[in-house]
Amino acid sequence: MQNITSTIGLKEAIQQLEDKQAAEGKLLKEQFNLTYASLQPVNLIKTFTEAVTSPDIISNLLSASIGLSAGFFSRRIFASTSGNIFKKVIGSLLLLGVTKIISGNSGVLRTLGQRIMQGVFNKKEASS
């Protein structure tokens, strides 16, 4: 900024600063209103549901649930609480095999799960 040597120059500089302050104050009020609107409970819930229903989260959740349910059912079927050691060993080996198959084919299972989820959601949207 240059040195001000006259009263006219001083008045012009003051006017420019007041204009700048008014413009920045207007922008600050607009930003405050946007922030206030985004923090209302309805908008928070809306933003949360949009984030949760993103395809990446759904596919990761689907992969994890398929793996957990397959492990649960294989252990439930073959590794019961009975005292039969042979049945427990077979159950553990089966659990290991199922886990390996699921981890090796997660892409195929994810695609299959996404198609199932799309079918479920499309039926809901069609009936609405």
Determine the angle formed by the axes of helices 85-104 and 55-78, rounding to 10 degrees.
Answer: 160
Write down the mean pLDDT value for the chain: 77
Answer yes or no: is pLDDT of 26 > 90: yes
The pLDDT of residue 100:
74
Q: Could you tell me which of 106, 80, 78, 104 has the C-alpha nearest to residue 93?
A: 78
**pLDDT tens-digit profile of 48-85?**
777 777 777 766 776 677 767 776 776 676 655 566 77
The pLDDT of residue 126:
57
Q: What residues contact 1, with CB distance under 8 A and at least 6 apart? A: 13
**Domain definitions of the chain by residue range:** 1-52, 54-127
What is the average per-residue pLDDT within 106-123?
72
The pLDDT of residue 17:
95
